[in-house]
Amino acid sequence: MNAYIFPGQGAQFPGMGLDLYNEYPQAKELFEQANTILGFEITKIMFEGSKEELTQTKVTQPAIFLHSVILSTILGERFQPDMVAGHSLGEFSALVANQSLSFQDGLSLVSKRALAMQKACEHQPSTMAAVLGLEDAVVEGICYSIDGIVVAANYNCPGQLVISGEIEAVKKACEVLKERGARRALLLPVGGAFHSPLMEPAREELAAAIEATPFSKPICPIYQNVSTTKVTDAHQIKENLISQLTAPVKWTQSVQQMIKDGATHFKEVGPGKVLTGLVKKINKEVEAEAVTL
């Protein structure tokens, strides 16, 4: 069974999507539509912008979404998903790919999500850190023991977990994690504490937009970050999507469940191949590759 997976923030690179724009009329049309929907020329930043310009949350999230969704559209009949999943932001790409959301509504929600997250970050300075070489339960226990807000945010693969929260609490957690044997515990260059309680203002803002957006019955199940199990009910998809901003991304658990449910081939659609690497670390037996045209 084919599982199509869609990357999240961090997969961006200068020049992303330019080849699609130049080679495929359908891609060009969707990129131009995106410029109109967003109200600024995101194509200019994607194709010609610097790495720094691309790392602004309000640019990064729509850029990755566009690259992923347009690539899956161009695949045409070769795009035959039995199931889909997306890492954080990638969940929106997955929902357009499995026809739960229209391209226009998906992009509009992603833009609102990015702006709401940016605002939440500015309201309360916060950060995230990558932790390597410890079991999940150990990391969770240490986070729980620290004064202040710090939580497990991204379960990327066994032995690789990202924590998220207030700057001092995350720094303190990193010190303790190193003492407890973490191979690495380092702060990430991100705008704020994504997938933590500090994103509550953004969650509330995005919830209203999601509630007002029509969702359709998908062509195949999505395995969502919050639930890790297959979902096809439009109402349930909305609920999980609303919870996602303040809840952890359970990527390891989602991939394990997809394999349990029959996934044998994982195909990553979008910029880079970060998720392909994570899938191989989660289970060496399954095939995983980044999609090329």
Kindly list the catalytic residues.
88, 195
Is residue 154 within 8 A of residue 196, CB to CB? The reply is: no
Give one DSSP letter per residue of 153-166, joined into a string: EEEEETTEEEEEEE
Separation between Cα atoms, residue 190 and residue 198, nearest integer Å: 14
Token digits for 164? 């998220």
* CA–CA gap between residue 91 and residue 88 (Å, rounded): 6
- Residue 226 phi/psi, 5-degree rounding, is -80, -40
8 A C-beta contact, residue 163 and residue 249: no
Q: From residue 290, how far is each of 132, 191, 276 by CA, in Å?
A: 24, 27, 6
DSSP reduced 3-state for 136: helix
Amino acid identity at 115: L
Cα pseudo-dihedral 260, 271, 86, 9, rounded to 10: 130
E strands along the chain, which residues? 2-6, 83-86, 126-132, 150-157, 160-166, 184-187, 222-223, 230-231, 265-268, 287-290
